[in-house]
Structure 1
Amino acid sequence: MAGRAVGLVLLAGAAALASGSQGDREPVYRECVLQCEERNCSGGALKHFRSRQPIYMSLAGWTCQDDCKYECMWVTVGLYLREGHKVPQFHGKWPFSRFLFFQEPASAVASFLNGLASLVMLCRYRTSVPASSPMYHTCVAFAWKMDYFCASTVILHSIYLCCVRTVGLQHPAVAAAFRVLLLLLLTAHVSYLSLVRFDYGYNLAANVAMGLVNLVWWLAWCLRNQRLPHVRKCVGVVVLLQGLSLLELLDFPPLFWVLDAHAIWHISTIPVHVLFFSFLKDDSLYLLKESEAKFKLD
């Protein structure tokens, strides 16, 4: 029964993805792409295209076919708008105004700032928290490893930190086993999306499920440790992160053909990273002070 339910969820996600590609199924779009490729993407015309293509576009892997799809996308969007219809999606994505070789410039810039904020706060954590703190190596080493994969790892990293904070300090073997489990789950998740099929519905469902686990587990820890002054930062992080994740469920054409819900999500979570590392620093220093006090008593 459970397997059937999961299958229905994945099927619904696939249907949602398919219904979001109305633009590339339009005859006017397909005919435009076909004519463009015949006119520009073979023989001498292709050499001419490559000679006038900016070097940064060629280095980024933009082909003549990609350029045809981009130009014909806007032709189709123009027809839709003139007829008073809603803006369609193309190949599962909204139409974005390209900047240099960035197809989604706002999301690209926001993702860079997101990563920069995490890097800066991680460096600050390393300089302000001694390596002797019980949470130091968990916060630093594992974060570096997880950062190489994808956005889903942010939530998995948070879940792992919660596991260590609630169980792992007393039972390191449990935390080590849980870390291996999370890495296996992440590997399977990324492998499926990269090698088998990028199913937007499945990816969304998986991230929502991970977010709920993260939310419930951290809030349970916060309730048990509400006497600690820095716990309010943790509450703020998990509530904000879960609330802002609703942006990923929104679906609207990009404002000014640049800013969509996904880009707004990346931008809005930048201060959440700062608050999260501030909590980690305070909690790590608290644990260090607590361990030093126990050592003196012993």
Structure 2
Amino acid sequence: MNAPSLKLVLLLLFSIVTICAASYGDQQYVYRHCVADCASRTDISELPFYLRLLRWNVQQNCGYHCMHQITQRAIQENTNIYQYHGKWPFYRLYGIQEPASVLFSILNGLMHLRYFQIIRRQVNELYQPLKTYYLITSIIGMNAWLWSTVFHTRDTPFTEKMDYFSAGLYIFYGLCVAVIRIFGLQRRKRATMLISGWTAVCAVLYIAHVTYLSSRSRFDYGYNMKACIAVGSLQTTLWLNWSILQYTRWGKKEQRPFAWMAGLSVVLVSCAMCLEVFDFPPYKGVLDAHSLWHASTIPLAPLFYKFLLKDAELDSLSKVDISKKRRLS
């Protein structure tokens, strides 16, 4: 999949997500009447402790039950199933709104934790100056999946923003690391100045991105999607082109037989995102396209981390050989 087609797929994907946000279900008279009637007959003290712990109120709890009553009727009558407040009708688990997405987000986070520990143990910072950047990649990945877990557990304006901001940070930082590694800034003269300068540029861009979104009276979903698409597409294009270059005569200076891992991982992640295009009501009220997208990324993270480890190992061996030759001479 080349960069233009990837961008087209991503634009289609996020257009669908934006359209879905304007849901019809919660606009129905039958739903609104049901919620109003339920709320008038229910006291907050009647809610189970775990619901109150996760800050469910009477209105929201009534909305949950009314949504499923209407959905069950639609299934029996074979009529359309609608979204409510921008979400499909999921079955919650002890107050957790989207249990499958929560589970898969936790597993993704654990995968980043595993490779954080492996990188810390196996990569020698004396021979691989980017070790700190790779460790921070894992930390930012863990943070992104932590907030994904929180958001899918309980959707509030705050948890939604933290989910978006954390995912954005992972994308922006990914571009930062991609440029440093692909263009070999760590090997150039004044490497520290170049790396620090580029990192500062990425940090300023991300801060400006978050500041703009935070200053709006309503969250600008359209802008956020376009910004993430632009940064993510650029990162994907860089890794893909670099990977291909390693198998051509132009890449002979530092040909790496494992470069395919980097290119394949970014392509597979982009393909996995296409699951969101097939937006459908959750199977058995649990599995939907979004949760499957989260599930598909679990086995993909190791592929990129294995590339980083092999890359660091090769750099270490090269520097050890150079040191030996200098000592012998």
Short-chain TM bin: 0.7 to 0.9
What count of residue pairs does the alignment treat as equivalent? 280
The letter for the 2-side match of 1:176 is S
Indicate the SS of the match to 1:256: coil
Determine whether 1:112 maps to 2:106.
yes
The one-letter code sitting in structure 2 at the alignment partner of 1:107 is: S
Aligned position for 1:173: 193
Tell whether the 8 Å contact from 1:156 to 1:182 is kept in structure 2 after alignment: yes
Contact 2:182–2:239 under 8 Å retained in 1: no
Letter in 1 for 2:293: W
Matching residue of 1:184: 204
Matched, 1:54 2:75: no
Amino acid at match of 2:35: V
Unaligned runs of 5+ in 2: 1-10, 145-165, 248-254
Is the contact made by 2:16 and 2:277 (CA closer than 8 Å) also made in structure 1? no
Say if 2:244 and 2:260, in contact at 8 Å, map to a contact too.
Answer: no
Q: For 2:232 and 2:221, how far apart are their aligned partners in 1?
A: 16
Gaps of 5+ in 1: 1-8, 41-45
Match of 2:279 among 251, 254, 259: 251
Are residues 1:208 and 2:202 paired? no
Q: Residues 149-298 of structure 1 correspond to what in structure 2 (within 5 A)?
A: 149=144, 150-167=166-183, 168-169=185-186, 170=188, 171-191=191-211, 196=216, 197-226=218-247, 227-298=255-326
Whether 1:70 aligns to 2:90 is no
Deviations 1:171-212 (CA, angstroms, capped at 9, x unpaired): 443332332333333344445556633444444433332321
Partner SS for 2:80: coil
Deviations 1:69-90 (A, max 9, x none): 1011112223433443221111
For residues 224 and 155 of structure 1, do their structure 2 counterparts lie closer, same or farther at Cα, with a shift above 3 Å needed?
A: same
CA 1:142 to 1:274, structure 2 compared with 1: closer, same or farther past 3 Å? closer
Counterpart-to-counterpart distance in 1, 2:16 and 2:245 = 41
The percentage of aligned residue pairs carrying the same residue is: 33
Q: Secondary structure at the match of 2:101?
A: helix
- The DSSP-based 3-state class of the residue aligned with 1:144 is helix
**Secondary structure at the residue paired with 1:151?**
helix
Q: Is the 8 A contact 2:125 2:131 kept in 1?
A: yes
Task: Confirm or deny: 8 A CA contact 2:112 2:142 kept in the other structure.
Answer: no
User: Which residue among 33, 37, 52 is the counterpart of 2:39?
Assistant: 37
Q: Secondary structure at the match of 1:65?
A: helix
SS at match of 2:64: helix
Classify the secondary structure of the residue corresponding to 2:295.
Answer: helix
| Correspondence 1:135 to 2:130 | yes
TM-aligned CA deviation for residue 256 of structure 1: 1.1
Q: Runs (4+) of structure 1 moved beyond 6 Å?
A: none
Q: What's the TM-score once normalised by structure 1's chain length?
A: 0.84
Q: Is the 8 A contact 1:143 1:157 kept in 2?
A: no
CA distance in 1 between counterparts of 2:77 and 2:207 reads 46
RMSD (Å) for aligned C-alpha atoms: 2.6
- Partners of 1:36 and 1:68 within 8 A in 2: yes
Give the letter aligned to residue 159 of structure 1: L
- Greater shift in the superposed pair: 105-114 or 218-227: 218-227
More deviation, 144-153/219-228: 144-153
What displacement does 1:18 show?
6.6
Paired residue secondary structure (1:62): coil
